[in-house]
Every structure is written in C-alpha cells, then in structure tokens.
Amino acid sequence: MTLSKYLDPKNDIAFKKIFGTEKNKDILIHFLNDILGFSEDNHIIDIEFLSPILAPKIAVKKQSIVDVLCKDKKGIKYIIEMQVTKSRGFEKRAQYYASQVYGNQANIGDKYHELKEIIFIAIADCIIFPNKSHYKSDHVILDKATYEHDLKDFYFTFIELPKFTKSKEELSSIEEKWCYFFKHAHETTEKELEEFIGGDSIIHRAYTALDQYYWTDEELATYEELKRIHMDNKAAISQEIYAAKNR
C-alpha cells in the first residue's frame, strides 16, 4: 500500500474518480475550459456523462477505449483519455474513436448539418510525437493553401507529460498547474500544495479527491492492482526494447 497522502491521477480508477463522476463534474468542466482555453463566449457551463463504447477486442481485455465521454449543452462531445504506456498507433486510435463517436450520433438521418463537433483530449504519460518539443499540441483540419479552418468538427489535444519539465516554482498558468497535477500529484506534500496552488480551488479539490483518506478499502485495493498491472506492462515493454536492441 502506498504511503503517500495523494494517489496518482494517472491510475485508471483515480482518473475516473476525479473526472468521471457526477460528484466531481465541476472539476471536469473547469479542466476542459482550462485546457481548451475556452473564453466566456464558448465556456462550458454543464456536461452530461455518456457511457464509453468498448471495442470487442479491447473489451475482452477489460480496457475501455476512452476513460471519460461526455457532451455539453450544445451537443458537442468530449473524449478524455489517460494513456499511461506507449501504444503503437495511438494517434490513429484517437482519430478512429473520434470518428466512431461522430458517426454514431443518433437520429440524424440526412440532416448532416446537425452533426456536432468531437473534441478528443489525451493526457499521455509517454511520448506520442517525438519530433514535437512542446508538451501540448492542438490539431485541427486546415486548408493547405490558405490555412482556413473550414472543417471544424474534429479537434484533438495531446498533452505529453514527459515533455512537461517545469518545477512547482515555475508554474505560471492554470494549464501548467493541471500538467503538474497529472505528473507530480502523487509526490506532492500538503505544504508544497499550499505553496503553489494559490487560489485555484478546483485544482485543490482535485488533489483532495486523490487523498487516500477518503478512499474505501475496496477502492484502494483496485488502485494497487491497477498500479501493479501498469508496472508489469511497463517492465514487459522495457524487456522487449532491451531484447530488440541486443539481438
């Protein structure tokens, strides 16, 4: 059993406890507004949770394609996923799932103008785009000649945590505090939290949701089991890489 006060938000059960429950819905709303940089004109006010779809092969392994799926009052759907290990073709998987959610909009018929946007957000504890230096990248469909944004229904944001290297003393924006939260929450002490959290009460609540004092024994047991599985998977991948380099 972990001895730290705050658990790791990258753990599947911890992630869903913070961002995938009605109790903490306002935390998810703030996170989406903060990461997407929404202004008052397009600010998300409320969201409705939807049931993530399981692909047959992935369902057998008890791994959901997405951690959180929701939509706002305008019908725009948001897919939020925590990716803890490098997976070949993850960027293609993101596009595939976004297209599935887009195509599965019910009762549209031939009213294609009523199709709503899909926004996919991935928080990755691994490198997705090796040639990009910045930890956050936003992807849209642009006209190659004019760079006009005519096709507006797909939007992808990837946060690559290994590329985020700022210390708590260097945090200067709410976006950076979220990235620090995902990368270092399980290493943060109460004293350190008070020093850099400032007046950001929502992020403070996200840390509180990670406080194991408020978790049941069953939840903690599941957390530890998922942690073990992740460590085993990581070790297996490292062994594969080692074996490939030493052939």
Banded pLDDT at 55 (limits 50, 70, 90):
very low
pLDDT at 230: 74
Q: Within a 10 A sphere around the Cβ of 132, how many other Cβ atoms?
A: 13
Percent of the chain residues topping a pLDDT of 90:
68
Q: In this structure, what token pair is assigned to residue 174?
A: 């709410």
Containing 227, the helix (H) or strand (E) segment is: helix 217-245
112 backbone dihedrals φ, ψ, rounded to 5° = -65, -25
Phi-psi region of 90 (alpha: psi -120 to 50; beta: other; left: phi over 0): alpha
Percent of the chain residues topping a pLDDT of 70:
85
For tokens 């969201």, the residue is 47
Q: Is residue 211 over pLDDT 90?
A: yes
Interatomic CA distance for residues 197 and 172, integer angstroms: 11
Banded pLDDT at 59 (limits 50, 70, 90):
very low
Q: Is residue 231 over pLDDT 50?
A: yes
pLDDT at 60: 37
242: amino acid identity, one letter? Y
Interatomic CA distance for residues 180 and 168, integer angstroms: 7
Q: Strand, coil or helix: what is 25?
A: helix
Q: What 8-state DSSP symbol labels residue 246?
A: T
Q: Strand, coil or helix: what is 20?
A: coil
Do 169 and 192 form a contact (C-beta atoms < 8 A)? no
Q: Cα–Cα distances in Å, from 188 out to 8, 22, 55, 56, 84?
A: 10, 26, 36, 38, 19
Question: Is the whole-model pTM more than 0.85?
Answer: yes
Q: Is residue 226 over pLDDT 50?
A: yes
Do 62 and 101 form a contact (C-beta atoms < 8 A)? no
pLDDT digits (tens, 9 = 90+) for 103-156: 888 676 668 888 999 999 999 999 999 999 999 999 999 999 999 999 999 999
Between β-strands 68-72 and 77-83, what pairing exists: parallel, antiparallel or unpaired? Answer: antiparallel
Do 141 and 149 form a contact (C-beta atoms < 8 A)? yes
pLDDT digits (tens, 9 = 90+) for 179-195: 999 999 999 998 889 88
For tokens 């993530």, the residue is 52
Q: In this structure, what token pair is assigned to residue 229?
A: 């599985």
Q: Is residue 56 over pLDDT 50?
A: no
